[in-house]
Amino acid sequence: MERYENKQYGYVRDEILDEDYVLGSLKLPTEVLVENGQWDEFIPADEIQRTEKYETYGCTIFGTESALQFLFKRVFGELKNFSERYVYIFTKTRAPGNSPKTIIEAIRKQCGMVDDDLLPMSKAATYEDYIEPDPLPLLLQWKGEEFIKNYRINYEWVFNDSQIYNRNEAIKAALQN
């Protein structure tokens, strides 16, 4: 019998708190953006969180930014490519990774996002290069603050730990918003 090893690529599980927003709680306004839940026409550029030389353990950053890039294309008609490296450095993400809540909270309240051209992964030949410059230059931080001023980012969990039934339905509903 073959055994499968559970590999860690950067996801750190969050505890969903009572004050967190959960889909269907009516704490945020909902707007159907894609009636059938198929976002194919809004797919952002494919990005990989690792290179042949190093693993970033940044899946929560790559996943969160990809979701926001889908939304930018759907809501504003803009194809964006944000710098995962910028958020990675700001949040001091290191192995074993980070939590989705930590990342989205940093983006919405602390660091914002900057264009990938300003701090691309492609310019980091090694992991040591990838986590630099730390601290981030003030110009980059100001660009990130501009993002926060210009865009309001909210989020909801699709379901919480106490919701054990109808999770598939919750996912289908979330894919419309």
Q: Per-residue confidence at 164, pLDDT binned at 50, 70, 90?
A: low
Most confident of the following: 18-27, 45-54, 60-69: 60-69
Is the per-residue pLDDT at 79 higher than 90?
A: yes
**Section 96-118 average pLDDT:** 97
Is the per-residue pLDDT at 61 higher than 90?
A: yes
**Is residue 177 a part of any domain in this protein?**
no
Domain that holds residue 122: 54-152
**Is residue 14 a part of any domain in this protein?**
no
Task: Work out the burial of residue 94: count CB atoms within 10 Å of its CB; fewer than 13 is exposed, 13-18 middle, 19 or more buried.
Answer: middle
Q: How many helices (H) and strands (E) does the chain have?
A: 6, 0
**Is residue 137 a part of any domain in this protein?**
yes
Please provide the size of the chain in residues. Answer: 177
- CA-CA distance, 146 to 148, in Å (whole number)? 5
**Is residue 76 a part of any domain in this protein?**
yes
**Is residue 49 a part of any domain in this protein?**
no
**Is residue 165 a part of any domain in this protein?**
no
**Section 28-49 average pLDDT:** 88
Structural domain count of the chain: 1
**Section 141-148 average pLDDT:** 98
**Is residue 25 a part of any domain in this protein?**
no
**Is residue 67 a part of any domain in this protein?**
yes
